[in-house]
Structure 1
Amino acid sequence: MMQSAGRLEKDLLGEARVPLEAYYGIQTQRACSNFDLSGVHLHHFPELVNALAMVKSACAKANHRLGLLDDQRCIAIEKAAALIIRGEHHEQFVVDMIQGGAGTSTNMNANEVIANIGLEVLGYDKGEYRHLHPNNDVNMSQSTNDAYPTAVRLSILLKHGDLVRSLASLRDAFAAKADEFSDIIKMGRTQLQDAVPMTLGQEFQSFATTLGEDIERIAGLSELLKEINLGGTAIGTGINTDPEYARLAVGYLSEVSGFEFKRASDLVEASSDMGAFVLFSSMLKRLAVKLSKISNDLRMLSMGPRCGLNEINLPAQQPGSSIMPGKINPVIPEAVNQVAYQVVGNDLAVTMAAEAGQLQLNAMEPLIAYNVLESIRMLKQSMDMLKNRCVRGITANRDRCQELVDSSIGIVTAVVPYIGYENASRIAKEALSSGRGVLDLIRDEQLMSEAQLEALLSPTNMIAPQKRRAS
């Protein structure tokens, strides 16, 4: 029987064939066979692939500076890393995001790909590792336990900017609608019951404000991710490194990435602690909860169109029913709701994985990386979708808003300072039982003059504090 084509490689467990065209090697191949779990591979997150390449490049520079890596090998690693950072060979990062081994499979996928690209740079064939070795050269002075966590932190920082920009853009879209709707009076509601008047602009400004609060908070939390354990190797003691290596490697990574990293003061603690990820993930959950609440409000304000509030119109995106002609559903906010629920679930997975660390390492970090990166990706895409396919196209039903204000019992709250709580309660009860309007009843009993009512019920007086003389 003819043996399958491929180059023969060997590791601790023996020999295996790797496809000739593959830049990854035997350890990556074993990982692919072992971990077919999520179907989401490393290349699904290009920022993580780029971050791995940046870490390997920085470490090579540090080893070269210390005289541990010769010119030829260092240049080959740097060139290979540069090609990856440029977007080439990402399809070679084939390991499942969820994996055993605390990220060893991810680290070896990077080591093998960079080694084989580097071999071609040097004029050798893939797999000729005596000239450039995945472990001896590309992984020099490193362990998965410091290289992988550092790359995960960097990958979040690389995605973080896009998330914040999408959040700011969505905030601005709501703020623009707030300006557009600033003169439309409507009823506010508490516990789904009529409350007091407000403007539709105030309601949309509240959406903009609550989202804007999270921009600074997410930016602030990203600073926690800039403290790294690079140079700690296996458990934080720095075994197999030069005394100057950690300082140099962190400095070169700052240069390569553009982020100002600092070495953790306690590398043993930093090798097992996942606290920064827990905080960052919880901030993503907070944003998801806010987005879901806003989406709920948009759906409720638009419900109808004939038998609901119908205060706003959401842009129609697709037919809403296979059986009911003419039905249009609020599909964009509904999709945002579902993203939010997924992000909340991701945060729980991060929490449990962070808790599962034991002694000097947390072996569950791949699950943390997957869920944090996936939450960022989904939140960014959902915010862009909500802005472009919903918020920008929202229109107001001005007459409907005014109709609900005029017929609401809630407007009686505005007259309490003038006619007293007991009178106001009685008027409200009678209005409910009789179906008559609050203002008509007040006029019938001459509890306030027409001039007083007119002044009190003007839009500007109903939506903000007003100076009042003592009676």
Structure 2
Amino acid sequence: MATRLEKDTLGTVEVPAEAYYGAQTARAAANFHISGLRPHPALVWGTLVIKKCAAKANMATGRLDEKIGAAIVQAAEESLAGKFAGHFVVDPFQAGAGTSHNMNVNEVLANRANELLGGALGAYDRVHPNDHVNMAQSTNDVFPTAMRLSALHMLFLLHQELETLCDALHAKGTEFDRILKSGRTHLQDAVPIRLGQEFEAYAAAMEKNLAGLERCRPNLCELGLGGTAVGTGLNAEARYIDLVIEEIGRETSLPVYRAANMVETTQNMDPFVTLSSALKGLAINLVRIANDLRLLSSGPRTGFNEINLPALQPGSSIMPGKVNPVMAEVTDMVAFQVIGADTTVTLAAQAGQLELNVMMPVIAFNILFSMEIIRNSVKQFTESCIKGITANETRCNSNLEASVGLATVLAPYVGYAAAAEVAKESMQSGQSIKEIIIARKILSPEKLAEILDPYPLTNPGVPGKRQ
């Protein structure tokens, strides 16, 4: 591979001849063979937005030459359009604070801006990565701001998929509203419930998780850009700080605002701890719902078999005809990964010392990776599982008829002890609750029919009594 020589403060470095990145990125690429991954596209997007807006703000203050600033802005716009996507190469597991990532972006933009002004790659005589692209900035204010912007971007995408999931669950709640089944607590027979009520409850849980994620938004919109190295704003004019935040708001249409205390936003990772916790809460509920669906569809002959999940692929290499609940299973696995990532974010957030948390790259990676996979999982879960669920109404009815949970309905009429005796006899004899009540003449068939009228059993009140 052809190379060119570049110099940085440590000496001479070989850089691939056609690379738009430079010496510091080449060092990082050599130093950090860790995961084989590239930076998340959302983090690159957030960083490019900052560089574009910083160039505009620095031109507005008169500090940055208009010709140089315009070239940086054009380079950023081309990069935002994906033209140089292959040149953002630093592993997410890198040196602390994200300096390598920041310099990767600085170098790509500087090289492209130089090229636009008639210069050659690697010759920073016209546009310099530090002096011009990074003007009035530090990694220490750029990287946490890019983290916030990228998280807000991913939050928007996740919000869309969660709304679709909620709509699909509500639709199933309506579709299954008239289907009565046995409820279960402790995995044992309980009082009746409608299948639709179960799905409406799932929708309500997802809506609460969605609201929890949305509550993270305001703190993510607080930007410490302009705080530079330690939050004090050294080398950044006050007017620049206001202008760059305004430019980011225009560029992204996000309701961003200047941090009240830029030292605090440089040190503190609380917004990401809160977001990670909200993602964990979402993951926990997704596991619970996915596992319920696995139970309700279990069988088909030896399990509950009260619902059918879409058949997506053969389920066994040895057992012919077996079909597994694959979308529920992958949802579980994604959720486990997100729950584990929350532990990493928690440990990294408390590991910051004094004026800077140097563990930001691993926080950014885990937050964005979690949002990416949970968004994709929710989308697949909705489209390939939830929307295709059908109910086995006959099985639901037969399980309800056989349930000893119906004894609870009798307690207001015959007392808890007598109802418990009926339930015990039902379990021992195999007879239904109805059959035992009629055989013992505890209640007349007419009264029993009134009490056990199915639909009212799933609403508030005492069955068989006027409310």
Q: What is the TM-score with the length of structure 1 in the denominator?
A: 0.97
Q: Using the alignment, how far apart are the partners of 1:305 and 1:7 within structure 2?
A: 65
Q: Partner letter of residue 314 of structure 2?
A: P
Tell me if 1:177 matches 2:172: yes
Shift of 1:441: 1.1
Q: CA deviation at 1:268?
A: 1.2
1:144-155 correspondence runs (5 A): 144-155=139-150
Match of 1:388 in 2: 383
CA deviations over 1:393-445 (Å, ceiling 9, x no partner):
11111111111111111111111111111110111111112222111111122
Contact (CA 8 Å) 1:49, 1:84: kept in 2 or not? no
Q: Distance in 1 between matches of 2:223 and 2:286?
A: 31
Question: Structure 1 residue aligned with 2:82, among 67, 77, 87?
Answer: 87
2:96 aligned with 1:125: no
Deviates more, 1:369-378 or 1:15-24: 15-24
How many residue pairs match? The answer is: 465
Find the counterpart in structure 2 of residue 417 from structure 1: 412
How far apart are 1:260 and its partner, in Å?
Answer: 2.1
Instruction: Show the 5 A alignment for 1:424-463.
Output: 424-463=419-458
Q: Which runs of 5+ in 1 are unaligned?
A: none
Aligned match of 1:137:
132
The equivalent of 1:36 in structure 2 is: 33
Please state how far the C-alpha of 1:208 moved relative to its aligned partner.
0.9
Q: Deviations over 1:117-152 (max 9, x none)?
A: 111221221112010000000001100000111011
Partner of residue 402, structure 1: 397
- Give the AA of the match of 2:328: P
> Residue in 2 aligned with 1:15?
12
* Cα distance in 2 for residues equivalent to 1:255 and 1:326: 56
Deviation at 1:469, TM superposition (A): 5.5
SS in 2 for 1:244: helix
> Counterparts of 1:102 and 1:189 in 2: how far apart (Å)?
50
AA of the residue aligned to 2:15: V
1:186 partner SS: strand
| 2:28 is aligned with 1:26 | no
Among the aligned pairs, what percent are the same residue? 46
SS at match of 1:8: strand
Cα-to-partner distance string for 1:309-356 (whole Å, 9 max, x where unaligned): 100111111111111111111111011000000000100000000010
Aligned to 2:329: 334
Instruction: Write the letter of the residue equivalent to 2:352.
Output: G
2:238 and 2:289 map into 1 onto residues whose CA distance is 53
Does residue 232 of structure 2 align to residue 232 of structure 1? no
Counterpart residue number, 1:324: 319
User: C-alpha distance in 2, partners of 1:301/1:105?
Assistant: 50
Q: What does residue 365 of structure 2 align with?
A: 370
CA RMSD, aligned part only?
1.2
What is the aligned partner in structure 2 of residue 246 from structure 1?
Answer: 241
Greater mean deviation of Cα atoms: 129-138 or 218-227: 218-227
Larger mean Cα displacement after TM superposition, 296-305 or 241-250: 241-250
How far does the alpha carbon of each residue in 1:157-213 deviate from its partner, in whole angstroms, 9 at most, with x for none?
A: 111111001001011111111111111110010010000101111111111111011
Q: Which residue of 1 is the match for residue 258 of structure 2?
A: 263
Equivalence for 1:160: 155
The alignment's TM-score, normalised by the length of structure 2, stands at 0.98
2:300 aligns with one of 299, 302, 305: 305
SS across alignment from 2:234: coil
CA distance in 2, matches of 1:431, 1:232: 73
Partner-residue secondary structure (3-state), 1:130: coil
- In structure 2, runs of 5+ residues without a counterpart are none
3-state DSSP class of the match of 2:216? helix
Give 1:375 shift: 0.5
Question: What is the identity, as a one-letter code, of the residue corresponding to 1:362?
Answer: N
Q: Distance in 2 between matches of 1:452 and 1:80?
A: 81
1:95 positional shift: 0.3
User: What are the Cα deviations for residues 104-128 of structure 1, in whole angstroms up to 9, with x where unaligned?
Assistant: 0000000000111111221221112
Output the CA distance in 1 between the equivalents of 2:174 and 2:344.
40
